[in-house]
Amino acid sequence: MIKHFKLAIVGLALSVTAVATGAQKPDNPVELKHQTAQINGIKMHYVTAGSGKTILFLHGFPEFWYEWDKQLPFFAGRGYQVVAPDMRGYNLTEKPKKVEDYAVSILIEDVRALLGKVSPGKKAILVAHDWGGAIAWAFASAHPEMLDQLIIINAPHPTVFARELAENPKQQAASNYMTFFKSPSAEAMLSVNNYAGLTQAILDSRLGSIRPTAEERKMYIDAWSQPGALTGGLNYYRASDIGPPKPGSKPDPNSFAGGKPMNVTVPTLVIWGEKDTALLTGNLVGLDKYVPKLTIRRIPEGSHWVVHEQPELISRLIDAFVNDKKLPTEK
């Protein structure tokens, strides 16, 4: 069982004593403000800085707002209002106990309500990774009128992902961890030995030379240790139909989008670390069928955690795309 658990953690697809208190790093030239908004029936914690057009950053599992710690000062210093929430169920945001409170339709409404709070009556830019990306795809399809651009990082388009789960044995095998995440034993297994498995998967499996500091490790463990936070993140999996098909069944490619193909009409940049072992590059094939204004930038030396591995490149890619400039190349 432990062996299979370790394999599941390695394939994870998918925030701080300082964070919890709202303190900032002294060497950070941009002041990040911690705020709370009452939206869609919950209290949502978010970090914000700067002024101008809004860029909303959505994290994945099992991250929190701090996933974007490098992008927030980068864009706040370039004339944008940056906003990075702890999504429903995570870290300092409220954590409803019912699985059905994490349905995709509710998560979409969280994004709509938060944008209505921080960017009322104005279009925004949406940047998202992993589960945040799944919700961003759905949000962009449902509310294109609220967005100027969409940037997705290693998060499959739900309709394409359903196809891959139905037809691609390699993606089916890579997604077996999702079955584990939906199980009643997931919380106990993931929190064993002070979250050692999650720490290895999220922090120690990163590629490249950027390694997490002791302070960052504590930040993540503190976020996971918030009462109900681990369950909140896992409930995203439990409330959805996404996952490897059961024997004799075939995933409905439109179940995530409420029974219809998920078309996205806003200009979209997809950034993909090609060494992602959980979400394979087959998810890029045929994507333009559903996203006509599509730009794809592959990062050969990036994993699922490319946001942390190559933060400067990620920031420059986003900046170039939203400003209609030539996209930079990987170092």
Annotated active-site positions, please? 130, 237, 304
Helices (H), 58-201: 71-76, 104-118, 130-142, 158-167, 169-174, 176-181, 186-199
42 forms beta bridges with: 39
* CA gap 32, 69 in Å, rounded: 10
Residues 153, 318: contact at Cβ < 8 Å? no
What CA–CA distance (Å, rounded) separates 78 from 98? 40
In this structure, what are the phi and psi dihedrals at residue 47, rounded to the nearest 5 degrees?
A: -110, 140
Report angle CA 124, 313, 107 to the nearest 5 degrees.
35
Q: Taking the CB of residue 288, how many other CB atoms lie within 10 A of it?
A: 13
How far apart are alpha carbons 190 and 221 in whole angstroms? 11
User: How would you class 112 by CB atoms within 10 Å of its CB: exposed for 0-12, middle for 13-18, buried for 19 or more?
Assistant: middle
